[in-house]
Amino acid sequence: MKAMIYTEYGSPDQLRLAEMPQPIPKADEVLVKIHATSVNSADVRLMRGQPFMIRLAGYGLFKPKYPILGGDIAGQVVQVGRDVTTFQPGDRVYGDVSNCGLGGFAEYAAVPESALAPMPKGLTFEEAAALPLAGITALQAVQKAKLQAGERVAINGASGGVGTFAVQIARTFGADVTAITSASKLNMLLELGATAVIDYAREDFTTHTGQYDAILAINGYHPLRHYARALKPNGRYIMVGGTDGQIFEALLLAPLIPKPDGKCLTLVTAKSTRESLQTLSGLVERGELKPVIERCYPLMALADALRFLEAGHARGKVVITL
Protein backbone atom coordinates (compact mmCIF):
# COMPACT_ATOMS: atom_id res chain seq x y z
CA MET A 1 0.00 0.00 0.00
CA LYS A 2 1.04 3.62 -0.46
CA ALA A 3 1.70 5.74 2.63
CA MET A 4 3.34 9.02 3.54
CA ILE A 5 6.08 8.21 6.04
CA TYR A 6 8.75 9.96 8.08
CA THR A 7 11.76 8.43 9.78
CA GLU A 8 13.27 11.49 11.47
CA TYR A 9 11.79 14.37 13.43
CA GLY A 10 11.74 17.63 11.52
CA SER A 11 9.85 19.75 8.98
CA PRO A 12 7.23 18.62 6.44
CA ASP A 13 10.03 18.43 3.85
CA GLN A 14 11.17 15.05 5.12
CA LEU A 15 7.80 13.36 4.50
CA ARG A 16 7.92 10.97 1.54
CA LEU A 17 5.62 8.62 -0.30
CA ALA A 18 6.59 4.97 0.22
CA GLU A 19 5.30 1.49 -0.51
CA MET A 20 4.51 -0.23 2.80
CA PRO A 21 3.18 -3.71 3.66
CA GLN A 22 -0.59 -3.76 3.94
CA PRO A 23 -1.44 -4.34 7.62
CA ILE A 24 -3.06 -7.58 8.74
CA PRO A 25 -5.82 -7.11 11.33
CA LYS A 26 -5.49 -8.84 14.69
CA ALA A 27 -8.38 -10.70 16.28
CA ASP A 28 -9.97 -7.53 17.66
CA GLU A 29 -9.09 -5.29 14.70
CA VAL A 30 -10.74 -4.08 11.53
CA LEU A 31 -8.88 -3.47 8.27
CA VAL A 32 -10.10 -0.19 6.80
CA LYS A 33 -9.54 1.07 3.27
CA ILE A 34 -9.08 4.77 3.99
CA HIS A 35 -10.90 7.18 1.69
CA ALA A 36 -10.11 10.38 3.61
CA THR A 37 -8.20 11.60 6.63
CA SER A 38 -7.44 15.04 8.07
CA VAL A 39 -4.52 16.91 9.58
CA ASN A 40 -4.38 18.10 13.17
CA SER A 41 -1.98 20.10 15.30
CA ALA A 42 -1.03 16.78 16.91
CA ASP A 43 0.43 15.68 13.56
CA VAL A 44 2.62 18.80 13.48
CA ARG A 45 3.86 18.19 17.02
CA LEU A 46 4.62 14.53 16.34
CA MET A 47 6.31 15.35 13.04
CA ARG A 48 8.63 17.83 14.75
CA GLY A 49 8.97 15.85 17.99
CA GLN A 50 8.13 18.97 19.98
CA PRO A 51 7.61 19.58 22.82
CA PHE A 52 10.14 17.01 23.99
CA MET A 53 7.61 15.48 26.38
CA ILE A 54 5.93 13.95 23.31
CA ARG A 55 8.99 11.78 22.81
CA LEU A 56 8.94 10.78 26.47
CA ALA A 57 5.26 9.83 26.14
CA GLY A 58 6.17 6.82 24.01
CA TYR A 59 6.37 8.22 20.48
CA GLY A 60 10.11 7.66 20.13
CA LEU A 61 12.96 9.32 21.99
CA PHE A 62 15.42 9.85 19.12
CA LYS A 63 13.32 8.97 16.08
CA PRO A 64 9.59 8.39 15.47
CA LYS A 65 8.18 5.13 16.76
CA TYR A 66 5.30 5.25 14.28
CA PRO A 67 6.40 6.09 10.71
CA ILE A 68 2.87 6.95 9.49
CA LEU A 69 1.13 9.93 11.05
CA GLY A 70 -2.60 10.66 10.91
CA GLY A 71 -5.18 10.22 13.66
CA ASP A 72 -8.46 10.74 11.80
CA ILE A 73 -9.77 8.20 9.32
CA ALA A 74 -12.92 7.57 7.30
CA GLY A 75 -13.32 4.64 4.96
CA GLN A 76 -14.76 1.20 4.35
CA VAL A 77 -14.18 -2.07 6.16
CA VAL A 78 -12.49 -4.68 3.95
CA GLN A 79 -11.64 -7.34 6.54
CA VAL A 80 -12.42 -8.06 10.21
CA GLY A 81 -10.60 -10.05 12.89
CA ARG A 82 -12.18 -13.19 14.30
CA ASP A 83 -13.35 -11.48 17.51
CA VAL A 84 -14.93 -8.44 15.85
CA THR A 85 -18.71 -8.34 16.26
CA THR A 86 -19.69 -4.74 15.44
CA PHE A 87 -18.57 -4.41 11.81
CA GLN A 88 -18.47 -6.40 8.61
CA PRO A 89 -16.84 -5.86 5.20
CA GLY A 90 -18.45 -2.99 3.30
CA ASP A 91 -19.39 -0.93 6.38
CA ARG A 92 -18.58 2.78 6.20
CA VAL A 93 -16.70 3.75 9.38
CA TYR A 94 -14.80 6.63 10.91
CA GLY A 95 -12.69 7.13 14.00
CA ASP A 96 -9.68 8.52 15.82
CA VAL A 97 -6.65 6.22 15.81
CA SER A 98 -4.32 8.63 17.65
CA ASN A 99 -4.01 6.31 20.64
CA CYS A 100 -3.56 3.08 18.74
CA GLY A 101 -0.52 3.62 16.55
CA LEU A 102 -1.78 6.34 14.19
CA GLY A 103 -1.52 5.42 10.50
CA GLY A 104 -4.16 7.61 8.84
CA PHE A 105 -1.92 8.90 6.05
CA ALA A 106 -2.02 5.60 4.16
CA GLU A 107 -4.31 3.58 1.93
CA TYR A 108 -5.12 1.04 4.65
CA ALA A 109 -5.07 0.85 8.46
CA ALA A 110 -5.69 -2.01 10.89
CA VAL A 111 -7.68 -0.44 13.70
CA PRO A 112 -9.09 -1.76 17.00
CA GLU A 113 -12.83 -2.25 16.69
CA SER A 114 -13.34 -0.01 19.73
CA ALA A 115 -11.77 3.00 17.96
CA LEU A 116 -14.40 3.10 15.22
CA ALA A 117 -18.05 3.98 14.81
CA PRO A 118 -20.43 3.84 11.84
CA MET A 119 -20.16 6.96 9.70
CA PRO A 120 -22.92 9.49 10.33
CA LYS A 121 -25.67 9.28 7.74
CA GLY A 122 -25.45 11.95 5.07
CA LEU A 123 -21.74 12.73 5.40
CA THR A 124 -19.14 12.26 2.71
CA PHE A 125 -15.89 10.49 3.57
CA GLU A 126 -14.16 13.89 3.57
CA GLU A 127 -16.67 15.34 6.04
CA ALA A 128 -16.49 12.27 8.27
CA ALA A 129 -12.68 12.41 8.31
CA ALA A 130 -12.83 16.00 9.56
CA LEU A 131 -14.88 15.03 12.58
CA PRO A 132 -13.19 12.59 15.03
CA LEU A 133 -10.21 14.19 16.80
CA ALA A 134 -11.34 17.83 16.62
CA GLY A 135 -14.97 16.95 17.28
CA ILE A 136 -14.18 14.79 20.30
CA THR A 137 -11.89 17.48 21.71
CA ALA A 138 -14.60 20.13 21.32
CA LEU A 139 -17.29 17.86 22.78
CA GLN A 140 -15.26 16.91 25.84
CA ALA A 141 -14.20 20.53 26.42
CA VAL A 142 -17.82 21.69 26.39
CA GLN A 143 -18.80 18.81 28.67
CA LYS A 144 -15.99 19.68 31.10
CA ALA A 145 -17.19 23.29 31.16
CA LYS A 146 -20.55 21.98 32.44
CA LEU A 147 -22.45 24.49 30.37
CA GLN A 148 -26.06 25.18 31.27
CA ALA A 149 -28.78 26.70 29.11
CA GLY A 150 -28.55 30.49 29.11
CA GLU A 151 -24.94 30.67 30.29
CA ARG A 152 -22.42 32.84 28.46
CA VAL A 153 -19.36 31.10 27.04
CA ALA A 154 -16.44 32.73 25.22
CA ILE A 155 -14.54 30.59 22.73
CA ASN A 156 -11.10 32.02 21.98
CA GLY A 157 -9.67 30.75 18.69
CA ALA A 158 -13.11 29.75 17.44
CA SER A 159 -12.45 29.45 13.71
CA GLY A 160 -10.23 26.35 13.54
CA GLY A 161 -11.22 22.70 13.55
CA VAL A 162 -11.89 22.39 17.28
CA GLY A 163 -13.32 25.90 17.51
CA THR A 164 -15.93 25.51 14.78
CA PHE A 165 -17.15 22.31 16.43
CA ALA A 166 -17.12 23.89 19.91
CA VAL A 167 -19.30 26.81 18.78
CA GLN A 168 -21.92 24.43 17.40
CA ILE A 169 -21.83 21.99 20.32
CA ALA A 170 -22.06 24.77 22.93
CA ARG A 171 -25.20 26.01 21.17
CA THR A 172 -26.79 22.56 21.56
CA PHE A 173 -26.35 23.00 25.32
CA GLY A 174 -28.34 26.22 25.09
CA ALA A 175 -25.35 28.45 25.79
CA ASP A 176 -24.94 32.03 24.57
CA VAL A 177 -21.71 31.80 22.52
CA THR A 178 -19.23 34.63 21.96
CA ALA A 179 -16.68 33.59 19.32
CA ILE A 180 -13.29 35.31 19.19
CA THR A 181 -11.18 35.17 16.02
CA SER A 182 -9.87 37.35 13.19
CA ALA A 183 -12.13 39.74 11.28
CA SER A 184 -12.29 37.69 8.07
CA LYS A 185 -13.83 34.71 9.87
CA LEU A 186 -16.52 36.41 11.99
CA ASN A 187 -19.39 35.94 9.53
CA MET A 188 -18.67 32.22 9.27
CA LEU A 189 -18.99 31.86 13.05
CA LEU A 190 -22.28 33.74 13.09
CA GLU A 191 -23.55 31.30 10.46
CA LEU A 192 -22.49 28.40 12.71
CA GLY A 193 -24.60 29.75 15.58
CA ALA A 194 -22.44 32.17 17.55
CA THR A 195 -24.61 34.87 19.12
CA ALA A 196 -21.77 37.40 19.29
CA VAL A 197 -18.34 37.69 17.67
CA ILE A 198 -15.19 39.64 18.58
CA ASP A 199 -12.27 40.53 16.35
CA TYR A 200 -9.28 39.86 18.60
CA ALA A 201 -7.23 42.50 16.76
CA ARG A 202 -9.69 45.23 17.77
CA GLU A 203 -10.83 44.14 21.22
CA ASP A 204 -9.40 42.18 24.15
CA PHE A 205 -12.38 40.28 25.53
CA THR A 206 -10.58 39.55 28.82
CA THR A 207 -10.60 43.23 29.87
CA HIS A 208 -14.30 43.02 30.75
CA THR A 209 -14.58 41.84 34.35
CA GLY A 210 -17.03 39.07 35.21
CA GLN A 211 -18.60 38.61 31.78
CA TYR A 212 -18.56 34.86 31.15
CA ASP A 213 -19.73 31.71 32.87
CA ALA A 214 -17.12 29.72 30.91
CA ILE A 215 -14.16 30.35 28.62
CA LEU A 216 -12.78 27.76 26.20
CA ALA A 217 -9.22 28.76 25.22
CA ILE A 218 -8.40 26.97 21.98
CA ASN A 219 -5.95 29.34 20.32
CA GLY A 220 -4.68 32.86 20.98
CA TYR A 221 -2.83 33.86 24.11
CA HIS A 222 -3.96 35.74 27.22
CA PRO A 223 -2.41 35.42 30.70
CA LEU A 224 -4.32 33.10 33.00
CA ARG A 225 -5.08 35.96 35.40
CA HIS A 226 -6.79 37.83 32.57
CA TYR A 227 -8.97 34.84 31.77
CA ALA A 228 -9.86 34.56 35.45
CA ARG A 229 -10.78 38.25 35.53
CA ALA A 230 -13.24 37.78 32.69
CA LEU A 231 -15.09 34.97 34.48
CA LYS A 232 -18.20 35.39 36.59
CA PRO A 233 -18.24 33.90 40.11
CA ASN A 234 -18.11 30.09 39.79
CA GLY A 235 -16.89 30.54 36.21
CA ARG A 236 -14.87 27.84 34.46
CA TYR A 237 -11.79 28.33 32.27
CA ILE A 238 -10.93 25.32 30.09
CA MET A 239 -7.57 25.22 28.31
CA VAL A 240 -8.15 23.30 25.07
CA GLY A 241 -5.10 24.02 22.92
CA GLY A 242 -2.37 26.49 22.13
CA THR A 243 1.38 26.80 22.14
CA ASP A 244 3.68 24.65 24.24
CA GLY A 245 4.13 27.60 26.63
CA GLN A 246 0.39 27.93 27.12
CA ILE A 247 0.03 24.24 27.84
CA PHE A 248 2.78 24.31 30.46
CA GLU A 249 1.28 27.49 31.94
CA ALA A 250 -2.08 25.81 32.35
CA LEU A 251 -0.45 22.76 33.92
CA LEU A 252 1.97 24.56 36.26
CA LEU A 253 0.53 27.98 37.04
CA ALA A 254 -3.22 27.40 37.14
CA PRO A 255 -3.08 25.55 40.50
CA LEU A 256 -1.11 28.46 42.03
CA ILE A 257 -3.37 31.34 40.98
CA PRO A 258 -5.84 32.50 43.66
CA LYS A 259 -9.36 31.64 42.54
CA PRO A 260 -11.91 33.60 44.56
CA ASP A 261 -15.67 33.20 44.07
CA GLY A 262 -15.40 29.52 43.16
CA LYS A 263 -13.66 30.04 39.83
CA CYS A 264 -12.00 27.04 38.18
CA LEU A 265 -8.94 27.09 35.87
CA THR A 266 -8.19 23.76 34.24
CA LEU A 267 -7.48 22.01 30.95
CA VAL A 268 -8.99 19.17 28.98
CA THR A 269 -7.08 16.19 27.64
CA ALA A 270 -9.40 14.64 25.10
CA LYS A 271 -9.79 10.87 25.11
CA SER A 272 -11.22 9.16 22.05
CA THR A 273 -14.12 6.84 22.87
CA ARG A 274 -16.82 5.18 20.81
CA GLU A 275 -19.38 6.88 23.06
CA SER A 276 -18.03 10.30 22.05
CA LEU A 277 -18.05 9.31 18.36
CA GLN A 278 -21.66 8.17 18.69
CA THR A 279 -22.59 11.46 20.37
CA LEU A 280 -21.03 13.37 17.47
CA SER A 281 -22.86 11.17 14.98
CA GLY A 282 -26.16 11.92 16.70
CA LEU A 283 -25.52 15.66 16.57
CA VAL A 284 -24.70 15.44 12.86
CA GLU A 285 -27.75 13.35 12.02
CA ARG A 286 -30.04 15.77 13.91
CA GLY A 287 -28.64 18.66 11.90
CA GLU A 288 -26.99 20.27 14.94
CA LEU A 289 -23.37 19.81 13.85
CA LYS A 290 -21.59 20.05 10.52
CA PRO A 291 -17.89 19.85 9.65
CA VAL A 292 -16.34 22.98 8.16
CA ILE A 293 -13.67 22.11 5.59
CA GLU A 294 -11.23 24.76 4.43
CA ARG A 295 -9.29 22.73 1.86
CA CYS A 296 -8.75 19.21 0.57
CA TYR A 297 -5.33 17.96 -0.50
CA PRO A 298 -4.29 14.67 -2.13
CA LEU A 299 -2.08 12.36 -0.09
CA MET A 300 0.98 13.34 -2.13
CA ALA A 301 0.52 16.96 -0.98
CA LEU A 302 0.48 16.12 2.73
CA ALA A 303 3.51 18.33 3.36
CA ASP A 304 1.67 21.32 1.87
CA ALA A 305 -1.39 20.56 4.00
CA LEU A 306 0.70 20.49 7.18
CA ARG A 307 2.41 23.76 6.25
CA PHE A 308 -0.98 25.38 5.68
CA LEU A 309 -2.29 24.12 9.03
CA GLU A 310 0.88 25.20 10.83
CA ALA A 311 0.51 28.74 9.42
CA GLY A 312 -2.67 29.03 11.51
CA HIS A 313 -5.04 30.48 8.91
CA ALA A 314 -7.39 27.54 8.28
CA ARG A 315 -11.14 27.97 8.70
CA GLY A 316 -12.26 24.65 10.08
CA LYS A 317 -10.50 21.50 8.95
CA VAL A 318 -7.87 20.57 6.36
CA VAL A 319 -8.64 17.19 4.78
CA ILE A 320 -6.52 14.65 2.90
CA THR A 321 -8.18 12.53 0.21
CA LEU A 322 -6.95 9.16 -0.99
Write a three-state SS string for the chain: CEEEECCCCCCHHHCEEEECCCCCCCCCEEEEEEEEEEECHHHHHHHHCCCCHHHHHHHCCCCCCCCCCCCEEEEEEEEECCCCCCCCCCCEEEEECCCCCCCCCECEEEEEHHHEEECCCCCCHHHHHCCHHHHHHHHHHHHHHCCCCCCEEEEECCCEHHHHHHHHHHHHCCCEEEEEECHHHHHHHHHCCCCEEEECCCCCHHHCCCCEEEEEECCCCCCHHHHHHHEEEEEEEEECCCCHHHHHHHHHCHHHCCCHHHCEEEECCCCCCHHHHHHHHHHHHCCCCCCCEEEEEEHHHHHHHHHHHHHCCCCEEEEEEC
Which pLDDT tens digit goes with each residue over 25-81? Answer: 999 999 999 999 999 999 999 999 887 878 888 888 899 999 999 999 999 999 999
Asked if residue 151 belongs to a domain, the reply is yes
* Inside any domain, residue 36: yes
Q: Model pTM?
A: 0.94
Q: Are residues 109 and 183 in the same domain?
A: no
Asked if 155 and 263 sit in the same domain, the reply is yes
* Residue range of the domain that includes 146: 134-267
Based on the fold, state whether residues 212 and 312 are members of the same structural domain: no
Q: Are residues 153 and 237 in the same domain?
A: yes
* pLDDT for res 251: 65
Q: What's the structural domain count of the chain? A: 2
Q: Do 139 and 237 have their domain in common?
A: yes
CATH number assigned to the domain comprising residue 263: 3.40.50.720
Claim to verify: residue 14 and residue 126 sit in the same structural domain: yes
Q: Do 22 and 120 sit in the same domain of this protein? A: yes
User: Is 277 within the bounds of a domain?
Assistant: no
281 inside domain:
no
- Asked if residue 167 and residue 99 are part of one domain, the reply reads no
Same domain, 168 and 110: no
- Co-location of 26 and 127 in the same domain: yes
| Within a domain: 254 | yes
CATH number at residue 61: 3.90.180.10
| Same domain flag for 259 and 314 | no
What does the pLDDT profile of the chain (322 residues) look like in tens digits? 999 999 999 999 999 999 999 999 999 999 999 999 999 999 999 999 887 878 888 888 899 999 999 999 999 999 999 999 999 999 999 999 998 999 999 999 999 999 999 999 999 999 999 999 999 999 999 999 999 999 999 999 999 999 999 999 999 999 999 999 999 999 999 999 999 999 999 999 999 899 999 999 998 788 888 999 999 999 999 998 766 666 767 666 666 566 678 888 888 888 999 999 999 999 999 999 999 999 999 999 999 999 999 988 889 999 999 9
